[in-house]
Amino acid sequence: MRRSSIFVALLGAVLTLEAPALAQTFGPRSRSSWETPQNFAIELRIGSFSENIDGQLGLAGRGPFQEIFCSTRDPNAAAGTAVGCPLRFRGGLEFDWQILRLGPVGSLGVGAIASYSNATARAPATAGMTSTDPTVWRRTAQDTSLQVLQSSIHAVLRVDVLARRIRWLPLAPYAKAGIALAPWWVTNGERNARDPITNEDAIGLSHGFFLAGGVAVMLDTFEPDVARQWDQTSGVNHSYLFFELNYTYLGGFTRRTLDVGGLAWTAGVAIEF
Amino acid sequence: MRWLSTALVAACVCASSTAFAQAVTFTNVIRNGSPRASENGGRILTRDEPLGARDCPCESWTFEGTIMPVPTARTLEWWIGNSATACATATNRFPAMNATCWPLDRLGINAALPIASNRFSVTIPGRWIVDPLTQTCMPPASISAGSNVHVTAMLRPPDDMVPLGTVPVTVSVARPVTVQSVTASGAESSAVVEWQHLRAEDGGTAQVPANTAGYYVLCLPRIVGYDAGLSSTACAPIVTDSGASDAAATDATSTADATAMDSSSGGGSCGSETLPAAFDPNSDSQLAQYACSPLLATGTSRYTVTGLTNGSSYRFAVVAQDNAGTRSTPSTFTSCVSPEEVTDFWERYRQNPGMTAAPGCSTTPSRFARTLPAGWLAFGLALAAIGAHRINARKDSRS
């Protein structure tokens, strides 16, 4: 509870900073005369799926996630060819509200991310799991999946002074920090898996924190006239391509929950409006 | 000379329209008795939808319309042509060699209209439309699958017959391409059946036939009690004035089918049981006995048959259905497959020794996690309130 109290206090501080920002979307000297007001950002995100389920059990690289989802064989390859952990992706959306303009330096705001990912593999036949080597387990045609709907609410600091002031350096680094929440569920074939002990559906809610750092390339630099026209006709101030590294801990604060987060990369496109 | 030929053509048209002034207008076409009527939520088939192999033995089409002016001393007859103009030429009409227009005189509907009436309503069994010669639901060679036949009203004057109007009916009784490469794998209390359904004319390298409506999976031994959404009774035979033979034919088919079904429904070890020799997938009542899936949408190539018993053996086949409701012959049955217990991710996770060491890691969310959504909701409302305040402030500053 102590950690969560600290975080709530941080959020409160962010919201308190909002008050003086009411009168300043942008300082008169830090925006061009033709620019429309800028308050929000949207990101379309795609990145890698990561988890720390085995690590949480102290079985990194040899736990149940590795056994089920990372030890299957390529049915088209020669016998004995095991497939490693395939690259799995996460897709999502982020919405930011740029509450506070920090003069010409950048903006501080709050944002929310919602993203979806899953890991799917053919479930092994129970009778065929006699070996300790999961790559030789006999797999059935039935899929088993771990599906995760990861989300976060976070503070966002975007430093866009370089991109705005130095034409040949259109980079806008940023950082995010916040809380993360991830409903997840396991399927067995076309239905939810059942917990073998409680006989309840294998669904749950993990929580933790979210940290991210990245850099965005302001696309206005390449087509300034188009960017200006887009701003004046649609209100879109800037567009970016971005790449970030993020770490999500979802193992729980006060009680251990399934850690379906980890270190991941994310890339995508963003607009500010 | 051109003006002369034009004048002659105009004179001919004028003369013909004067001599045969009657015209038929079809105001309504009603379809009754199709087993497909129960599909798609009981939607009644329209005249624009094809008359398929399942419709053919069961369905009747009622054509309603008007004829103006009322003919006197003439007979209104009904013919089936393989084109809109086939019946216009005497040499095309039955019993001419290579006829492309056939009479429905056995229906007893060729009587002259009552003098005072200009309205008609004629009911024609589907099998007469598809095959006016033998009524076997197999069209004559001159009617290709999927083509239109034309129900034609003709007036018989003393010397010759004149077509007064036609209405097209699309016939599609040819069986779809059989499904290929059906395989099955055992899963927990279920089996995953996969297949390919490719256009034969592309050598099996292209996509699904364009007019495919879906698939049924068949199980051997059949799963008693499974409801595939099919009618369990044969369609009622069409009764017409001359329909005694129709009813007899339908009843005979039903009896033979029922006998065959009974001989195959007793179970037995996997591989020894087969479909009855007289199995007709176009019969809903027969298909219902072996179907272990609902009608699967076109594009489907994988289906999980559930409700099976671990350790028992099953075989599977697939039947395709086209947009006319006509079904293919069943594919080759798979080899025997036995459902078996599988271990899904969560079972494996819960089996892990790490779980017993840390019993707190359960599917039940903590109190913090349970209350967090409410916190998010409150946070969102707070943001919305601040946003509204900010927008109002901006409006005030502008004004």
| Residues B364-374, mean pLDDT to the nearest whole number | 53
Q: Is the pLDDT of residue A12 over 60?
A: no
Quick: pLDDT tens for A183-192: 999 998 878 8
Can you give the pLDDT at residue A11? 47
Q: Decide which of B261 and B100 is more confident.
A: B100
CA proximity to B387, closest of A201, A251, A21, A167:
A21
Of the options 2.40.160.20, 2.60.40.1120, 1.20.1440.230, 2.40.128.280, the CATH number for the domain spanning A2-15+37-76+84-192+202-272: 2.40.160.20
Q: Is the pLDDT higher at B393 or at B7?
A: B393
- Indicate the domain borders of chain A: 2-15+37-76+84-192+202-272
Tell me the pLDDT band of B262, cut-offs 50, 70 and 90. Answer: very low
Between B296 and B234, residue with greater pLDDT = B296
B26 CA to chain A: closest CA distance, Å?
50
**CA dist., res. B279 & res. B333, Å (int):** 14
| The two three-digit tokens of residue B362, written as one number | 């359960």
pLDDT band at B352 (very low <50, low <70, confident <90, very high): confident
User: CA–CA distance from B203 to each of A251, B174, B198, B207 (Å)?
Assistant: 54, 19, 8, 10
Helix (H) or strand (E) holding B351: helix B345-351
| Rounded Cα gap, residues A262 and B206, in angstroms | 43
The answer to whether residue B21 scores a pLDDT higher than 70 is no
Give, as one character, the DSSP assignment of residue B179. Answer: P
Domains and CATH numbers, chain B: 17-172 (2.60.40), 180-240+250-322 (no CATH)
Is A206 close to B363, i.e. CB distance below 8 A?
no
Asked casually if ipTM beats, i.e. exceeds, 0.90, the reply is no
The pairing of strands B51-52 and B162-172 is: parallel
Among A207-211, A226-230, B124-128, B134-138, which is the least confidently predicted range? Answer: B134-138
Two structure tokens written together for A16 = 């308190």
In this predicted structure, what is the pLDDT of residue A113? 95
Give the chain A residue nearest B364 (alpha carbons).
A204
Q: What is the pLDDT of residue B108?
A: 53
Cα–Cα distances in Å, from B14 out to A138, B89, B164?
83, 20, 16
Contact assessment for residue B291 and residue B275, using Cβ atoms and an 8 Å cutoff: no
Residue with tokens 């995100």, as numbered in its chain? A45
B375-398 in b/e form (b: 16+ CB < 10 A) is: beeebeeebeebeeebeeeeeeee
Across A23-37, A85-99, B24-38, B379-393, least confident range: A23-37
User: What is the spatial distance between Cα B223 and Cα B293, in angstroms, rounded to a whole number?
Assistant: 10
Query: Contact B313/B188 with Cβ under 8 angstroms?
Result: no
Using a CB-CB distance cutoff of 8 angstroms, which residues of chain B are in contact with residue A190? 304
How would you class A201 by CB atoms within 10 Å of its CB: exposed for 0-12, middle for 13-18, buried for 19 or more? middle
**Cβ within 8 Å, pair A123-B360:** no
**Tell me: the pLDDT tens digits for B271-328?**
678 888 888 898 888 898 899 999 999 888 899 998 898 889 999 999 999 888 899 9
Contact A123 B370 (CB under 8 A): no
pLDDT in the model for residue B261: 35
* Chain B residue whose CA is closest to A146: B345
Mutate to test the interface with B, among A257, A258, A259, A260 (most CBs of B within 10 A): A257
Higher pLDDT, A47 or B159: A47
Q: In DSSP terms, which residues pair with A225 in a beta bridge? A: none
Report the pLDDT value the prediction gives residue A108, as an integer from 0 to 100.
93
